[in-house]
């Protein structure tokens, strides 16, 4: 058996012995944060984009902050 065949065989054995990679669902479930899809009216999305651009952050980051802030303010009103 040539050295290349030997290396190939060893690599195949190692790959077969490895544990399978976690699925996207497994990774998402283990994460401390979760993904949420929200449909916004065009005007609201436009405002979000403009505000995020002015602050130099992503729309996702700003939306997350605004939701957290809104929940904190709502709890203080209840």
The structural domains of the chain, with segments of one domain joined by +, span 42-78
Which has more pLDDT, 35 or 63? 63
- What is the predicted pLDDT for the residue at 66? 95
- The answer to whether 52 and 58 have CB atoms below 8 angstroms apart is yes
When pLDDT is cut at 50, 70 and 90, the band that residue 58 belongs to is very high
pTM attached to this predicted model: 0.56
**Lowest-confidence pick of 10-14, 21-25, 49-53:** 21-25
Q: What is the distance, to the nearest Å, from the Cα of residue 28 to the centroid of all Cα atoms in its chain?
A: 7
Two structure tokens written together for 1: 């058996």
DSSP structural state of residue 4: H
- The answer to whether 56 and 42 have CB atoms below 8 angstroms apart is no
- The answer to whether 62 and 55 have CB atoms below 8 angstroms apart is yes
């Amino acid at each position: 058996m040539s050295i290349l065949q030997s290396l190939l065989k060893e690599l195949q054995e190692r790959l077969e012995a490895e544990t399978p990679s976690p699925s996207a669902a497994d990774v998402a479930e283990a994460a401390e944060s979760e993904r949420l899809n929200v449909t916004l009216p065009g005007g609201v999305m436009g405002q979000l984009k403009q505000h995020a651009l002015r602050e130099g952050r992503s729309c996702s980051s700003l939306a997350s902050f605004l939701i957290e802030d809104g929940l904190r303010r709502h709890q203080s009103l209840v």
